[in-house]
Structure 1
Amino acid sequence: MSGSADNGEKHGIQVIARAATILRVLADGHGPRSLGAIARRCALPRSTVQRIVTALEAEQLVEGGPEGVRLGEAVRQLAGGLDDGIAPRLRPALEALSRRTGETVVLSRMRGRETTAVDQVVAECELRVVFQPGHGRPLSCMASGKALLALMTDAAVERLLGPDLPRPTPGSPADLPALLRELAAVRREGVAFDRESHSPGVCAVAAVVGLELGRPHAVSVVAPTARFVAGEARLREALAEARPAMEAALR
């Protein structure tokens, strides 16, 4: 009886060690990998890798997609509690972007089903948008949230958010299929939009930075609707041109 228990314990420890090895391979910065590639790197049978990956996917520790397997949302959430120094490193670039656009610039990250502002540079104009740091807002309604959700597969988004989405405004995605259509556009264009989908009178454009670190954050340019509509192309261009400096600051 004791021998059987010992064997079971050793098997459990072995599975954990193999799972950790797989996660380390996926965290090496080389992007998604096929099951075969993971098996070769880990020196494990492909069938073993497939069983472990399936279990990790059920816990959202990895995500499977057309390009292969990559780290999942649960890993990003666990890492979100760490003080990684990303905000201070990006602060000069955020300030420069705010000066160029004349609008509030917000740095956000994902926490559960919400996006949370971790830093912001508030515009120096009379009519401006100010976010409350640490206050979570629904991922599906924010430009920052959509930019971060677009990093996930549709299946992972559905598992995370479920079928019923919050609708704080008439501009919010009507349902999950509508959100998934928006996310497909985000993946094609590289930017996400909030056109009064979170708050009446407020719009934003957002893009992801820090993906190579495995710590994706979203940078948003946020403005009152009237100014956003008039200057949308300019704000989007400014954000795109600021991203290389931000990525360089994170290296």
Structure 2
Amino acid sequence: MSQEKEGSGKQVIARTAAILTALEKFPFGASLGELSQACDLPKTTVHRMVSSLEAQQLVITDGNGVRLGPALVRLAASAHKDVIGIARPYIEALGRSTRETVDLCIYRGTHSVLVDQYASDQELRVVSAIGTAFPIHCTAHGKALLAQLSDDVFTMLSTGFSLEKRTEQTLVNIDALRADLVVGAKSGCFIDREEHARGVCGIGLTLRTGFVDQYALALAVPALRFQDHFEELKNALIQCKSQIEAVIGA
């Protein structure tokens, strides 16, 4: 391969990556103009590349614009299995050291979905079925995922659905929820103090995996034990996050 062809190939790959990366920020679709601006590429170039990507189902175009396509979802599903496999030994170690339930969740619209769990061995414990979808606004892992969304996506989500009041502690005011997310972002951990279910608390944070899907790791703890062991639980969770991310290379 000549240097000229090699350089051209690298440019195409770089532009393709730029478009796909930009679309992560537009889960509901982006116009060609928005993509052109986000990628700093001419609109004609974006249009040509989107057409090629659409032919491979890497993107799809509908009434809302261009968004990531089913081929990427399939690739992400494969990577998703890898994340579970990589994280599992560290999740088990965290569960054994804290004796509390550890949840690994993935972001899905207005919910965080449980994809793996290590159940506490204590008589009083918090356990959920794999595949359970939790409201994103009132769980520790959900808040961690919600805080990663751009302001535009957060606004679209918050105006598109009402915040369900699960308990007396649930934050159903958007401004109060935003403020709570700011506090969580500064501390590095997001807290659920009986906001999703009475008697249940949680502490969560996001995992940087480098994959399209967004993951959160959390400890689910009965309220009776939560506050007394909060600092040690937080430190153990942060350590587990660091270990998983180091192995993944995020």
* TM-score > 0.5 by shorter chain: yes
Partner of 1:128: 125
Q: Which of residues 102, 105, 108 is equivalent to 1:105?
A: 102
Structure 2: distance between partners of 1:199 and 1:59: 38
Q: What is aligned with 2:234? A: 236
Is 2:146 aligned against 1:149?
yes
Correspondence for 2:78: 83
Q: Is 2:204 the partner of 1:203? A: no
Task: Answer yes or no: is the 8 Å Cα contact 1:80–1:111 preserved in 2.
Answer: no
**3-state SS of 1:206 partner:** strand
3-state SS of paired residue (1:87): helix
User: Counterpart of 2:115 in structure 1: which amino acid?
Assistant: V
| Deviation for aligned residue 1:215 | 2.8
Using the TM superposition, name which of 116-125 and 241-250 deviates more: 241-250
- Is 1:249 matched up with 2:241? no
- 1:113-155 C-alpha deviation (Å, 9 max, x unpaired): 1111100000111111101111211100111110001001233
2-side partners of 1:37 and 1:156: how far apart? 15
Asked whether the equivalents of residues 27 and 214 of structure 1 are also in contact (C-alpha less than 8 Å), the reply is no
Query: 1:184 aligns to what SS in structure 2?
Result: helix
Q: What is the deviation of 1:219?
A: 0.5
Q: Is this contact kept in 1: 2:22–2:38, CA < 8 A? A: no
Report if the CA contact (8 A) 2:209-2:248 is conserved: no
Partner of 2:19: 23
SS in 1 for 2:137: helix
Q: Give me the whole-angstrom Cα distance separating, in 2, the residues matched to 1:165 and 1:156.
A: 15
Letter in 2 for 1:82: A
Q: Distance in 2 between matches of 1:59 and 1:181?
A: 32
Query: CA offset at residue 94 of structure 1?
Result: 0.1
1:12 maps to none
SS at match of 1:240: helix
Aligned pairs for 1:171-250 within 5 A: 171-250=169-248
Does the Cα contact within 8 Å between 1:109 and 1:218 map onto a contact in 2? yes
Alignment partners' CA distance in 2, 1:189 and 1:27 = 29
1:184-231, Cα deviation, whole Å (9 max, x unpaired): 222222211111010000000001113433332111011100101111
SS of equivalent residue, structure 2 residue 210: helix
Structure 1 distance, partners of 2:65, 2:37, is 21
* Aligned-residue identity in percent: 29
Task: Please say which of residues 178-187 and 223-232 is displaced more in the overlay.
Answer: 178-187
Q: Which range moves more in the overlay, 89-98 or 158-167?
A: 158-167
CA contact (8 A) 2:137 2:143 kept: yes
| Structure 1 portions without partners, runs of 5+ | 1-18, 29-33, 63-73
Letter in 2 for 1:147: A
How far is 1:25 from its partner? 5.3
Alignment CA distance shift 1:207-1:46 (3 Å): same
Aligned twin of 2:116? 119
Please report the RMSD computed on the Cα atoms of aligned residues, expressed in angstroms: 3.3
Partner amino acid, structure 1, of 2:86: R
1:31 paired residue number:
none
Once the two structures are superposed, residues 168-198 of structure 1 have per-residue CA deviations (whole angstroms, 9 ceiling, x without a partner) of: 1111112211111111222222211111010
Matches within 5 A, 1:48-87: 61=67, 78=73, 82-84=77-79, 85=81, 86-87=83-84
- The question of whether the paired residues in 1 share the 8 Å contact of 2:145 and 2:216 is answered with yes
Q: Describe the SS at the equivalent of 1:110.
A: strand
Write out per-residue CA displacement over residues 66-91 of structure 1, whole angstroms, 9 at most, x where no aligned residue. xxxxxxxx99x947961322111110
Counterpart amino acid of 2:205?
A
C-alpha contact 1:163 1:175 (8 A) present in aligned 2: no
